[in-house]
Amino acid sequence: QPLYHFKLTNLEAVATTIITSSKFNICNIYLPPNLNISNNDIAIVLEQIPSPRIIIGDFNAHNEIWGSISTDARGRIIESIIDRYNLNLLNDGNQTRFNSFTGNFSTLDLSICDPQTGTHLEWDVIPHIYGSYHRPIKITKQDEEQRDSLWSPRWKIDKANWPKYREEIENKINTVNHEVSSENINEILEDFTRIIQEAAIKHVKKTSALVHHTPVPWWNAECDEAVKRSKHQFNYYKRHKTKENLILFKKARARARYIIKKSKKESWQKFTLKINHQTPISTVWKKIRRINGKKTEIKATTPYALSYKMT
């Protein structure tokens, strides 16, 4: 749904509504470190977000409640807002931000919600920081977790063993001795469907039902190795916090960023060389979506559709 347009506030805040099996209003807030704020500044934003609501963002506030070493003035303001509106803090004490200058970790990113919403949510911090100084935060709605972890498998048409597929269907059809009549047409159809499905399962096969990251055309072995190296150096630094290990991590992350950027550029250049005035605009947009890691629409394929390979 369209984003909310907040009134009477200068805070950096944006919100939208997400509708799945249920409805959530999600607001993201950023509070710069040197910005002077009051309880009323945040209250103005909260009161414009209808329930059920989830408020997330970088609040740049310290409070022992969410895992900080000490509590500052802004941390007390956020705490009073949580109490005033009877909100739930989803943070569990895990640190969310890495300071590359000092090598220390802190908790500046908060996730807050209504009490009736909080009972259905799970909050978790992903260990690696990837290209940011902030660790990604994963909020999962419990009753949708299993459903969202699955997707509809599809047939691996490009990797099928079509000669074996055709041979098995022909052999099995020859063993079916039915005289076609109006009385047994359903029985014949069931047998024919079963034969095609069994052959497809053995020689065409399906993709996994588990969700995988949407593949991007620019990702290659070099990107994979660079990211793994960056993660390794980050994890090693967390166990052995020395200046030398911090420098090694920064170098590994900088190299990973460089390799990914270079790979994206080269992939796009190769694609643009193939574009001409006859290239469908849908092909161009599909490529752009894939580069951005977005799914493209895939039409379902049934065993009946596979029968065209028989001819």
pLDDT tens-digit series, residues 87-118: 889 998 888 887 878 778 888 899 999 887 88
Predicted pLDDT of residue 179: 63
Predicted pLDDT of residue 291: 72
Quick count: other Cβ atoms within 10 Å of Cβ 82? 18
- The overall average pLDDT reported for the chain is 80
Pairing of β 105-106 and β 97-98: antiparallel
- Dihedrals phi, psi of 224, to nearest 5 degrees: -60, -45
Q: Taking CA 97 as the corner, what is the angle to CA 131 and CA 62, rounded to the nearest 5 degrees?
A: 155
Supply the pTM of this predicted model: 0.54
pLDDT in tens, 270-294: 888 888 888 888 888 887 777 776 6
Rounded to whole angstroms, how far apart are CA atoms 25 and 5? 13
Q: For residues 4-10, give the mean pLDDT.
A: 71
Q: Are the C-beta atoms of 257 and 212 separated by less than 8 Å?
A: no
Predicted pLDDT of residue 307: 43
Is the pLDDT at 183 greater than 90? The verdict is: no
Is the pLDDT at 301 greater than 50? The verdict is: no
Cα→Cα distances 210→156, 224, 297, Å: 15, 21, 18
Quick count: other Cβ atoms within 10 Å of Cβ 128? 12
Rounded to whole angstroms, how far apart are CA atoms 185 and 56? 60
Burial 23-42 (b: 16+ CB within 10 A, else e): ebbbbebebeeeeebeeebb
Between 28 and 285, residue with greater pLDDT: 28
pLDDT band at 299 (very low <50, low <70, confident <90, very high): very low
Rounded to whole angstroms, how far apart are CA atoms 309 and 311? 5
Cα→Cα distances 209→148, 212, 278, Å: 11, 9, 36
User: Which of 147-151, 220-224, 253-257 shows the lowest per-residue confidence on average (mean pLDDT)?
Assistant: 147-151
pLDDT in tens, 65-90: 898 888 999 999 999 999 888 888 99
Non-local (6+) Cβ contacts of 114 within 8 A are 51, 52, 53, 87, 88
Is the pLDDT at 300 greater than 50? The verdict is: no
Predicted pLDDT of residue 7: 72
Between 8 and 25, residue with greater pLDDT: 25
CATH number of 3-141: 3.60.10.10
Predicted pLDDT of residue 32: 92
Between 100 and 151, residue with greater pLDDT: 100
Non-local (6+) Cβ contacts of 40 within 8 A are none
Domain ranges within the chain, ordered by starting residue: 3-141, 157-203, 221-292
Burial 45-58 (b: 16+ CB within 10 A, else e): bbebbeebbbbbbb
Q: Are the C-beta atoms of 13 and 31 separated by less than 8 Å?
A: no
pLDDT in tens, 196-209: 888 888 898 887 65
Q: For residues 113-138, give the mean pLDDT.
A: 83
Pairing of β 109-113 and β 53-58: antiparallel
Between 31 and 177, residue with greater pLDDT: 31
